[in-house]
Amino acid sequence: MDITQILGYVGALCIGIILGLIGGGGSILTVPILVYLLYLNPVTATAYSLFVVGVSALVGAIHNIRKGLVDFRTAIVFAIPALLAVYATRKFVVPNIPERLFSIGDYVITKDIGIMIFFAIIMLFASVSMIFSKRKELPKETIVRYNYPIIFLEGIIVGALTGIVGAGGGFLIIPALVLLAKLPMKKAVATSLLIIAIKSLIGFIGDIENLAIDWTFLLKFTSLSILGIFIGMWFTNFIDGKKLKKGFGWFVLIMGIYIIIKEFTK
């Protein structure tokens, strides 16, 4: 095992720590770590990321269910179209993306390069959401209302994006739950983890028939991430995760720009 691979496993621990500290965002680092430090191809990396993200989110969701913070009705309304979209994307869309997408002069954009560039663009949007977020807590007595057509459409979009890039999409789900279902922020964050867990794991099921899964590696990586979540939760006793979120957003922004430059200069 070389130093780069060791850093990859340290990265798995860091993903969990970030999730434990700020309640989301850390999973967006999973694909870059798997691709650039552990040398997986992007299609496999996005599949593995779905499993890591799904299991990690499930750990957080169980913790929130015990605290009574999860709104199950909202989770079901949002999750059904999302899980159908993510499963269909992983099962039918991703395997059928052509290996050669298009050319820019002599530079050929392949399937792997295209996925990483698209992923980097999602990272840029996520980073902006973290850096400039000014979400206000709604009153606890706010009545939950459902705009079913918009929630259904949002679920499909988030599910498809999750299927392509392997990230949880919390930066899209949480605003949707606050604005469309009028959930208080704490409940929106808690409920989003359950939605992310369900759709990510369902999406991963769509990959099992298309990819050879290295379960030993995947379970080892995921276990480190889960360990990191508990370390991160412990750190919250001493560190305010909200104050770290903006700084982490800048880090994600830099990472997204780095990936775009790296892929275009191969």
Q: Report DSSP state, residue 166.
A: -
CA dihedral in degrees (68, 69, 75, 76; nearest 10)?
Answer: 10
Tens-digit pLDDT profile for the chain (266 aa)? 688 889 999 999 988 888 777 666 667 888 899 999 999 998 899 889 889 988 988 888 898 899 888 888 888 888 888 888 888 888 888 888 899 988 877 788 899 999 889 888 988 888 887 788 665 554 555 555 666 777 788 888 888 888 887 776 676 777 777 777 777 877 887 888 888 888 888 888 878 878 889 999 999 999 999 998 888 878 877 876 667 777 878 888 898 999 899 888 87
d(CA 156, CA 97): 19
What is the separation of C-alpha 56 from the centre of its chain, rounded to a whole number of angstroms? 10
pTM for this structure? 0.79
DSSP letter at 102 equals E
Three-state helix/strand/coil letters over 31-83: HHHHHHHCCCCHHHHHHHHHHHHHHHHHHHHHHHHHCCCCCHHHHHHHHHHHH
**What number of H helices and E strands is found in the chain?**
10, 2
Domain total in the chain? 1
Q: Which domain holds residue 192?
A: 3-264
